[in-house]
């Protein structure tokens, strides 16, 4: 492999979009309205489009004839580097939209900084993706405020989702060894520097949504190092079914 740290760094970035894209794809046909259903499906498609660009680059780095499909579908659970937040299930629409919001705020900040990378391929992906993610953030933010400051039931559902998912936010700013190596050479984003802006934005939106910000300082981590919740195993079983049932299948 030409650059193992760069390869692992790309996986750490792309797996977030891969797993969240799969989760949002599960909403297709189940949205609260036709317009919202289509919007969630489009978010999923945007994320998968970004993943393809990342994985094509990763496959080139890996060499040995590896393809984007190999990277997406043929890894084991412990080889996925996504944060725990994005693998959480679609308990209800409030959970879906809060999970999306908590990731979108981070994702937009991350891509804004990735545009300054010394790696031209990553810069190109960031410049293309940032337009889509800007929409994702507006979409999820609007829904959090609308439901949080809506009816008594919608408010309580958003509050429940925030309280449950808050424990996964801190991991967004954890650095792996690959992250640190790429930051050192000017390729990666120092995510620790995004934390203050992230929570300022999130807290502002939740305040507008009349949602109480959880006081708990206990956070769950592990996903970036391949240690996941039980939910990822079920997700991968669905996502990888065709490739594992019919190996080397091509469209």
Is 251 within a domain? no
Mean pLDDT of 66-70: 89
Distance CA 200, CA 158 (A): 19
DSSP 212: P
**Structure-block tokens of residue 58:** 């990763």
Q: Is 199 part of any domain?
A: yes
Contacts of 134 (CB under 8 A, 6+ apart): 108
pLDDT value for 250: 67
Which value, to the nearest 10 degrees, does the dihedral of the CA atoms of residues 176, 178, 184, 186 take?
A: -110
pLDDT digits (tens, 9 = 90+) for 219-249: 999 999 999 999 999 999 999 888 878 887 7
Domain that holds residue 161: 4-245
Please give the pLDDT value at position 145: 97
pLDDT of residue 75 exceeding 80: yes
CB 137 within 8 A of CB 108: yes
Mean model confidence pLDDT for the chain: 93
87 belongs to a structural domain: yes
Q: Closest by alpha carbon to 12, among 58, 44, 56, 46?
A: 58
Residue 138 lies in a domain: yes
From CA 223, how far away is CA 229, in angstroms rounded? 8
Q: How many domains does the chain have?
A: 1
Mean pLDDT of 29-45: 86
Please report, for the domain that includes residue 202, its CATH number: 1.20.1260.10
């Amino acid at each position: 492999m030409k650059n193992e740290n760069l390869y692992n760094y790309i996986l750490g970035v792309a797996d977030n979009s891969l797993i969240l894209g799969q989760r949002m794809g599960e909403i297709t046909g189940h949205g609260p309205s036709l317009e919202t259903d289509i919007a969630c499906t489009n978010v999923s498609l945007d994320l998968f489009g970004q993943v393809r660009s990342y994985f094509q680059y990763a496959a080139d780095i890996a060499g040995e004839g590896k393809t984007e499909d190999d990277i997406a579908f043929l890894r084991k659970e412990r080889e996925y580097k996504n944060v725990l937040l994005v693998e959480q299930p679609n308990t209800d629409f409030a959970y879906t939209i809060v999970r999306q919001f908590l990731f979108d705020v981070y994702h937009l900040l991350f891509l804004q900084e990735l545009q300054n990378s010394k790696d031209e391929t990553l810069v190109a992906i960031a410049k293309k993706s940032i337009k889509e993610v800007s929409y994702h953030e507006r979409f999820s933010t609007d829904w959090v405020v609308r439901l949080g400051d809506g009816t008594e039931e919608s408010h309580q559902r958003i509050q429940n989702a925030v309280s449950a998912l808050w424990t996964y936010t801190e991991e967004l700013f954890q650095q792996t060894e690959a992250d640190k190596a790429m930051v050192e050479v000017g390729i990666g984003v120092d995510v620790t520097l995004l934390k203050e802006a992230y929570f300022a934005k999130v807290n502002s939106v939740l305040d507008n949504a009349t949602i109480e910000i959880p006081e708990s300082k206990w956070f769950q981590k592990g996903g970036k190092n391949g240690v996941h919740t039980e939910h990822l195993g079920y997700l991968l079983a669905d996502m990888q079914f065709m490739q594992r049932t019919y190996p080397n299948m091509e469209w």
